[in-house]
């Protein structure tokens, strides 16, 4: 950190209330746009299967390519933002991502689409791997949990927009039009970030070697390692179920259209509600307990989606969302407060594990689908929740 520099804290005592609100909204909008781009193809996988003549597992590569690229690139953006500064990285990556998103609309082949989706994935953590570290420098510890919960809520809204709005646009104007629309939303987000965020000087001046050394130290700290595994298990179960849900609901006995399947993703609104609540509860309830409760509720929701009646399936999805975002709303703040140094690297590592879990969750349940159908998908995802519960119980409480 620059000698004599003290990060400005955005709290209720700040004289610039309007600037504080503008900066907070910029973080939320930037997060929303990133997650919307990430999930854009999920509700239209059957359309891509038909257009390019690929099976469900192959079509799922348009999701897994993004997630795998995010997992691989997240560890890069933490040290990069430590060295160059959070705002510069977030704005630059968001601009480049809007270009990659637009390019997806003009792809001539499935292979090219998957490649461009991977490029999007490389750029997504330029926002998502940095935003919590930026908030940690701009908010007092007592406010950080609620701010992070707001960021998580914005990620839910972004995922909802990508699935619901993306599916709606694809149903009415084609899937290529959906990419065009979301490219412009990302460009708008870059503008809002550039205008709304206060400049914060780089937090580290020790270069890349020190940054990556700090990252390796995080892996030897049991509570952080446990939190990383919790994040990976959460996203594995989450993305596995929602990636192959369209195949389940478009087949017998449901036979739902793409537009109706997309509307079922409105269950995500439960995450918008629960994330801020979980953030406030973390001030009174131990975070480890909240993570355990969230994982357990997620597992209950998975059991419910095995039912045949559609209303019960939808209710199970709501329960799953509530559980997932109860844990996810507090886990990043746990990482940020537990890390002793190099917080940007700690948050980047959390996202690396998170999206590595998502990568496996977008592929392995596809194989389970081909072998055992929807029951196989649910069983595979439920196993990941068990891993998260064990990591929370055995590692997160250790000193």
| Helix, strand, or coil (residue 12) | coil
Residue 235 contacts residue 361 (beta carbons within 8 Å): yes
Q: Which pLDDT value is given to residue 13? A: 46
Q: Give the pLDDT mean for 199-205.
A: 60
Dig out the tokens for 218 from the structure: 């995080």
What value does the mean pLDDT of the chain take?
85
**Is the pLDDT reported for residue 203 higher than 60?**
no
The Cβ-side half-sphere exposure at 167, using a 13 Å CA radius, reads 22
Largest CA-CA distance found in the chain, in angstroms, rounded = 66
pLDDT for 341-394, tens place per residue?
Answer: 777 678 778 888 987 888 788 789 988 998 999 999 999 999 999 999 999 999
- How far is CA 116 from each of CA 314, 362, 370, rounded to the nearest angstrom? 32, 17, 26
CB atoms within 10 A of CB 107: 17
Residue 163 contacts residue 269 (beta carbons within 8 Å): no
| Helix, strand, or coil (residue 116) | helix
pLDDT for 95-130, tens place per residue?
Answer: 999 999 999 999 999 999 999 999 999 999 999 888
Please name the residues in contact with 203: beta carbons below 8 A apart, sequence gap of 6 or more: 1, 7, 82, 86, 133, 137, 343, 344
Which of 60, 349, 68 has its CA nearest to residue 231?
349
pLDDT for 160-194, tens place per residue?
Answer: 888 888 888 988 898 999 999 999 999 999 999 99
pLDDT band at 3 (very low <50, low <70, confident <90, very high): very low
Q: Which pLDDT value is given to residue 126? A: 93
How would DSSP label each residue in 239-251? HHHHHHHHHHHHS
Residue 190 contacts residue 281 (beta carbons within 8 Å): no
Dig out the tokens for 154 from the structure: 């914005």
Please name the residues in contact with 256: beta carbons below 8 A apart, sequence gap of 6 or more: 249, 250, 264
pLDDT band at 224 (very low <50, low <70, confident <90, very high): very high
Q: Which pLDDT value is given to residue 106? A: 94
Query: Which of 38-52, 204-218, 374-388 is least confident?
Result: 204-218
Q: Which pLDDT value is given to residue 2? A: 39
Torsion angle of alpha carbons 84, 32, 282, 10, nearest 10°? Answer: 50
Which residue did the predictor score with more confidence, 220 or 233? 233
Q: Which pLDDT value is given to residue 329? A: 84
The Cβ-side half-sphere exposure at 292, using a 13 Å CA radius, reads 13
Query: What secondary structure letter does DSSP report for 60?
Result: T
Q: Which pLDDT value is given to residue 8? A: 46
pLDDT for 252-272, tens place per residue?
Answer: 899 988 778 878 888 878 888
């Amino acid at each position: 950190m620059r000698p004599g520099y003290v990060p400005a804290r955005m709290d209720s005592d700040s004289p610039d209330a309007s600037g504080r609100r503008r900066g907070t909204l910029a973080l939320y909008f930037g997060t929303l746009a990133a997650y919307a781009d990430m999930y854009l193809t999920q509700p239209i996988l059957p359309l891509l299967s038909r257009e390019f003549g690929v099976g469900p597992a192959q079509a799922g590569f348009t999701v897994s390519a993004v997630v795998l690229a995010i997992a691989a690139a997240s560890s890069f953006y933490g040290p990069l933002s430590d060295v160059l500064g959070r705002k510069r990285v977030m704005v630059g990556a968001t601009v480049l991502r809007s270009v990659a998103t637009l390019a997806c609309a003009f792809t001539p082949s499935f292979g090219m689409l998957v490649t461009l989706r991977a490029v999007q994935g490389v750029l997504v953590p330029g926002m998502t791997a940095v935003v919590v570290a930026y908030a940690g420098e701009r908010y007092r510890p007592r406010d950080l949990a609620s701010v992070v919960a707001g960021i998580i809520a914005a990620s839910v809204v972004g995922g909802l927009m990508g699935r619901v709005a993306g599916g709606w646009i694809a149903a009415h104007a084609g899937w290529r039009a959906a990419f065009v629309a979301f490219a412009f939303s990302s460009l708008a987000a870059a503008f809002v970030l550039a205008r709304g965020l206060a400049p914060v000087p780089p937090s580290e001046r020790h270069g890349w070697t020190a940054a990556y050394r700090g990252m390796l130290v995080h892996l030897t700290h049991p509570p952080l390692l446990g939190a990383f595994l919790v994040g990976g298990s959460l996203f594995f179960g989450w993305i596995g179920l929602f990636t192959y849900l369209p195949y389940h609901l478009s087949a017998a006995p449901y036979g739902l259209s793409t537009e109706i399947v997309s509307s079922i993703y409105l269950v995500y609104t439960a995450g918008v509600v629960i994330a801020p609540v979980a953030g406030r509860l973390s001030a009174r309830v131990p975070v480890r307990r909240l993570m355990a409760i969230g994982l357990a509720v997620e597992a209950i929701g998975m059991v419910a989606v095995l039912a045949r009646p559609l209303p019960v399936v939808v209710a199970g999805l709501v329960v799953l969302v509530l559980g997932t975002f109860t844990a996810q709303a507090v886990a990043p703040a746990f990482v940020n407060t537990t890390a002793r140094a190099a917080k940007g690297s700690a948050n980047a590592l959390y996202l690396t594990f998170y999206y590595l879990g998502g990568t496996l969750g977008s592929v392995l349940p596809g194989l389970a689908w081909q072998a055992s159908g929807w029951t196989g998908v649910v069983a595979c995802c439920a196993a990941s929740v068990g891993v998260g519960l064990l990591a929370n119980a055995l590692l997160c409480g250790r000193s």
